[in-house]
């Protein structure tokens, strides 16, 4: 049996408010094997963003376990978490989140700066990835000189630069038109076929259909998981 | 990684040039003012020190005063009450290492077809020791010249320049008030005295020659002034007291009557002048450093604004793997870079300002490597000190909130 890329067990998260503790995530369990492709769906306030933040090691659970690629990250200190974010995870955001005054090449190379990679290697790897996402001719351009879809490609190149095992994408097509969205999703599909695990949050069902598995959040709980449905269907068919 | 961060700090400085320039301006003015003020202050100290060094050390001077009678009193030294014998008595006192009785007056000096008016001093060979004055050329007169009253002269640099030009003066005959004197030595240049007189505009001749040939006085053996050198600074007050009582005794001044002479402690006067300039330069430096502090506060202010503006950027950096330490270092480096670059510009302005003042007004300036190092290290410290709080604020941001910041 392979080591799961994500293993979440009995995870709770609550925020302290003036009115007392407010639970955001309740008893969340999730197992994701390497190479899987999950779309998380759910209305706003259902806890999916908080869950993504915890998966991305930007936030810590109140209780429960989270094992990322075999590492117990729920009890790590801040600088160890920074290292995990740097080495194991690639982030893609809705708003692209590129540094506006920095060239595309340096934007893509930025995670390597924090990984302590030398300048030559940084630039070589960033260039290769920009070429891969089809932006090899814009190495020295600034983010505001290219289109939104192109900016998202740059962000994906940046997420890939440290060769992560897992990509977390928070509404990656939320700011894009449908044609560009499909192009971006095609890129994700391609990456998944190369063996990278992907978790993406989305509102749109046609985007979610790119994933192999869909998870629905409601009121801080996972209320639907297509993997489990499939299993159940399979079982009932066998029983029949 | 450090190199990459320096590059980013440089980049960030260039991103908002006007703001960076204005922030830096505080530093530029602060460092420029400190360097300029230190240069002027140290210059003043240096010129006072040089004057004191040329005066001779541990000096007391005894001057004659006119007797305390009613009616008009002549200027100090005009009624000669001091004599060579007084000087010979003073040298016997404890703690006195040398004594030089002098008479002086201005006289017209002629060499070939040039003439010059200079101060002529008649004195003994010890005068040069007391004044710590050496010869640039030739040799000095001796006690035997004093005894026989030879017509020889030592001349100062200014006199040489005005009368001789490029000709070597040694062995030439000059005329002082029409009497011929042979120049046997040229004095080393001393420059200005504390009161701003040109010490090189002088001629020294044997005391007896001056008394007999130049300033024919009705009081034989009288002198205007006696210079006394004490063995050390500590005993100068003691020596002053013993000169007072010795001279009162020799001049038969009764209890309760005023002295017909007075003693001045030149070294004490010079030291207080030095102390004054030292205090002045400290004060100048202190005032200037206030502007450094103001510059530092300016840096802190702008860095705080910058952290707020770049909250989202900080969030992105954290999400892709920057540790708190990396963010801290980044903002600290920016603050230090602003202050160090500002400091370099300030140094340039301060030094060129000092040189300009020197050119325009001939004010003495001293630019010491210490004052440059001091200004530089203060600037770096200000950068670190005032940059630390904003940098820490940036490093402690919560990445989730920072990412959400619009």
CA pair distance A155, A169, nearest whole angstrom: 10
**Are A110 and B3 a contacting pair at CB < 8 A?**
no
Model's pTM, two decimal places? 0.72
CA pair distance B303, B387, nearest whole angstrom: 7
CA pair distance A8, A57, nearest whole angstrom: 13
How, if at all, do strands B96-111 and B173-176 pair?
antiparallel
- Domain presence at residue B116: yes
- Among B259, B291, B316, the domain-final residue is B259
Query: Can you name the residues that pair with A12 across neighbouring β-strands?
Result: A63
Q: What is the pLDDT of residue A124?
A: 95
**Mutation site for A-interface testing, chosen from B17, B316, B328 by largest number of A Cβ within 10 Å:** B316
Residue B153 shares a structural domain with residue B281: no
Residue B250 shares a structural domain with residue B317: no
Residue B166 shares a structural domain with residue B223: yes
Selection from A41, A200, A102, A73 nearest residue B15 by Cα = A102
Number of domains in chain B: 2
Residue B40 shares a structural domain with residue B187: no
Domain A36-61+76-239 classified CATH 3.40.190.10?
Answer: no
- Tens digits of residue pLDDT in B105-135: 888 899 888 889 999 999 999 898 888 888 8
- Domain presence at residue B382: yes
- Among B208, B233, B259, the domain-final residue is B259
Four-CA torsion B359, B361, B362, B364, nearest 10 degrees = -100
Selecting from A82, A99, A113 the residue whose C-beta is nearest the C-beta of B1 gives: A113
- Domain presence at residue B125: yes
CA pair distance B224, B229, nearest whole angstrom: 17
- Alpha-carbon torsion (B32, B34, B35, B39), positive or negative: positive
Per-chain mean pLDDT for chain A: 90
State the residue range of the domain holding B89. Answer: 66-259
For A84, name the nearest residue in chain B, comparing CA atoms only.
B321
- Average confidence (pLDDT) over A94-103: 90
| DSSP annotation of B192 | B
Residue B210 shares a structural domain with residue B289: no
Query: How far is residue A65 from each of residues A9, A13, A33, A158, B230, measured CA to CA in Å?
Result: 5, 11, 16, 29, 90
Residue B187 shares a structural domain with residue B288: no
Percent of chain A with pLDDT over 70: 98
- Domain presence at residue B34: yes
| Token representation of residue B49 | 């020190």
Residues of chain B predicted below pLDDT 70: 1, 66-80, 216-220
Selection from A124, A14, A57, A142 nearest residue B323 by Cα = A57
Q: What is the pLDDT of residue A41?
A: 93
- Structural domain boundaries of chain A? 36-61+76-239
Q: 10 Å Cβ neighbour count for A235?
A: 10
| DSSP annotation of B137 | E
Contacts of B327 in chain A (CB under 8 A): none
Four-CA torsion B304, B310, B314, B319, nearest 10 degrees = 160
- Tens digits of residue pLDDT in A170-208: 999 988 998 999 999 999 999 999 999 999 999 889 999
For B315, name the nearest residue in chain A, comparing CA atoms only.
A97
Q: What is the pLDDT of residue B66?
A: 58
Q: What is the pLDDT of residue A196?
A: 94
Percent of chain A with pLDDT over 90: 71
A107 phi/psi in degrees, rounded to 5: -60, -50
- Domain presence at residue B57: no
Residue B374 shares a structural domain with residue B304: yes
Q: Are B251 and B261 in contact (CB under 8 A)?
A: yes
Selecting from B3, B15, B323 the residue whose C-beta is nearest the C-beta of A101 gives: B15
Residue B70 shares a structural domain with residue B46: no
A37 touches chain B (CB under 8 A): no
Q: What is the pLDDT of residue A105?
A: 94
Selection from A36, A155, A160, A153 nearest residue A89 by Cα = A160
A123 touches chain B (CB under 8 A): no
| Token representation of residue A207 | 């985007």
Contacts of A99 in chain B (CB under 8 A): 313, 316
Selection from B378, B380, B384 nearest residue B328 by Cα = B384
Residue B48 shares a structural domain with residue B74: no
Q: What is the pLDDT of residue A35?
A: 92
Instruction: Supply the ipTM of this predicted assembly.
Output: 0.91
**What angle do helix axes B369-395 and B266-309 make, rounded to 10 degrees?**
30
Chain A to chain B, count of Cβ pairs less than 8 Å apart? 63
- Domain presence at residue B287: yes
CA distance A61 to chain B (A): 14
Residue B252 shares a structural domain with residue B278: no
Contacts of A56 in chain B (CB under 8 A): 319
- Domain presence at residue B365: yes
Residue B31 shares a structural domain with residue B90: no
B249 phi/psi in degrees, rounded to 5: -65, -50
- Tens digits of residue pLDDT in A138-149: 999 999 999 999
- Domain presence at residue B266: no
Residue B328 shares a structural domain with residue B241: no
Q: What is the pLDDT of residue B212?
A: 83
Scan for tokens 């040329």, then name that residue: B54
Query: Can you name the residues that pair with A91 across neighbouring β-strands?
Result: A168
CA distance B378 to chain A (A): 31
Dihedral class, residue B354 (left if φ above 0, else alpha if ψ from -120 to 50, else beta): alpha
Q: Are A39 and A48 in contact (CB under 8 A)?
A: no
- Among B259, B289, B313, the domain-final residue is B259
For A123, name the nearest residue in chain B, comparing CA atoms only.
B4
| Token representation of residue B115 | 């003439």
A13 touches chain B (CB under 8 A): no
How, if at all, do strands A20-32 and A37-41 pair?
unpaired
Indicate the pLDDT class of residue A164, thresholds 50, 70 and 90.
Answer: very high
**Which of A11-15, A172-176, A222-226, B64-68 bottoms out in mean pLDDT, i.e. has the lowest?**
B64-68
């Amino acid at each position: 049996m392979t080591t799961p890329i994500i293993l979440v067990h009995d995870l709770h998260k609550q925020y302290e408010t003036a009115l007392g503790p407010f639970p955001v995530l309740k008893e969340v369990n999730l197992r994701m094997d390497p190479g899987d492709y999950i779309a998380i769906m759910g209305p706003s306030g259902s806890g999916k963003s908080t869950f993504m933040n915890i998966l991305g090691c930007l936030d810590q659970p109140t209780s429960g376990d989270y094992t990322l690629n075999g590492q117990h990250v729920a009890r790590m200190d801040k600088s160890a978490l920074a290292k995990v974010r740097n080495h194991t995870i690639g982030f893609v955001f809705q708003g692209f989140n590129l540094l506006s005054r920095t060239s595309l090449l340096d934007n893509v190379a930025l995670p390597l700066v924090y990984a302590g990679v030398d300048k030559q290697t940084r630039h070589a790897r960033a260039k290769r990835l920009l070429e891969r996402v089809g932006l090899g001719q814009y190495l020295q351009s600034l983010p505001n000189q290219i289109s939104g879809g192109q900016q998202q490609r740059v962000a994906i190149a940046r997420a890939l630069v440290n060769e992560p095992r897992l990509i977390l994408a928070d509404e990656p097509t939320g700011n894009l038109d449908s044609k560009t969205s499909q192009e971006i999703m095609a890129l994700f599909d391609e990456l998944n076929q190369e063996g990278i695990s992907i978790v993406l949050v989305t509102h749109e069902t046609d985007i979610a259909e790119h994933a192999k598995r869909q998870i629905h959040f409601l009121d801080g709980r996972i209320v639907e998981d297509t993997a489990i449905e499939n299993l159940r269907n399979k079982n009932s068919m066998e029983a029949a | 990684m450090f190199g990459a961060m320096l590059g980013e700090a440089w980049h960030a400085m260039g991103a908002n040039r006007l703001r960076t320039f204005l922030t830096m301006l505080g530093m530029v003015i602060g460092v420029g003012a400190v360097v300029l003020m230190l240069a002027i202050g140290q210059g003043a100290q240096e010129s006072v020190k040089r004057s004191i060094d040329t005066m001779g050390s541990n000096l007391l001077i005894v001057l004659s005063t006119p007797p305390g009678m009613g009616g008009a009193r002549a200027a100090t030294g005009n009624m000669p009450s001091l004599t060579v014998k007084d000087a010979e008595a003073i040298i016997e006192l404890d703690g006195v290492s040398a004594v030089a009785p002098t008479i002086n007056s201005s006289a017209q000096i002629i060499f070939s077809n040039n003439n010059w008016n200079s101060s002529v001093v008649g004195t003994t060979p010890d005068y040069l020791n007391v004044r710590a004055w050496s010869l640039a050329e030739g040799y000095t007169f001796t006690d035997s010249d004093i005894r026989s009253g030879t017509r020889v002269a030592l001349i100062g640099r200014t006199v040489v320049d005005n009368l001789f030009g490029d000709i070597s003066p040694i062995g030439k005959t000059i005329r002082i008030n029409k009497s011929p004197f042979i120049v046997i030595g040229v004095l080393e240049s001393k420059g200005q005295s504390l009161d701003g007189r040109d010490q090189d505009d002088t001629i020294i001749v044997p005391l007896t020659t001056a008394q007999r040939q130049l300033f024919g006085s009705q009081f034989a053996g009288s002198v205007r002034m006696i210079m006394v050198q004490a063995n050390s600074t500590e005993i100068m007050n003691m020596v002053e007291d013993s000169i007072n009582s010795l001279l009162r005794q020799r001049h038969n001044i009764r209890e309760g009557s005023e002295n017909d002479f007075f003693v001045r402690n030149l070294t004490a006067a010079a030291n207080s002048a030095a102390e004054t300039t030292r205090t002045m330069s400290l004060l100048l430096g202190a005032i200037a450093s206030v502007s450094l502090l103001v510059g530092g506060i300016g840096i802190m202010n702008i860095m705080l604004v910058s952290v707020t503006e770049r909250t989202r950027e900080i969030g992105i950096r954290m999400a892709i793997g920057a540790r708190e330490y990396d963010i801290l270092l980044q903002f600290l480096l920016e603050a230090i870079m602003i202050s160090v670059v500002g400091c370099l510009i300030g140094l340039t302005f301060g030094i060129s300002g000092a040189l300009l003042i020197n050119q325009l007004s001939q004010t003495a300036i001293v630019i010491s490597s210490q004052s440059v190092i001091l200004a530089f290290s203060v600037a770096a410290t200000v950068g670190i000190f005032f940059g630390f709080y904003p940098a820490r604020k940036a490093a402690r941001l919560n990445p989730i909130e920072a990412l959400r910041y619009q």
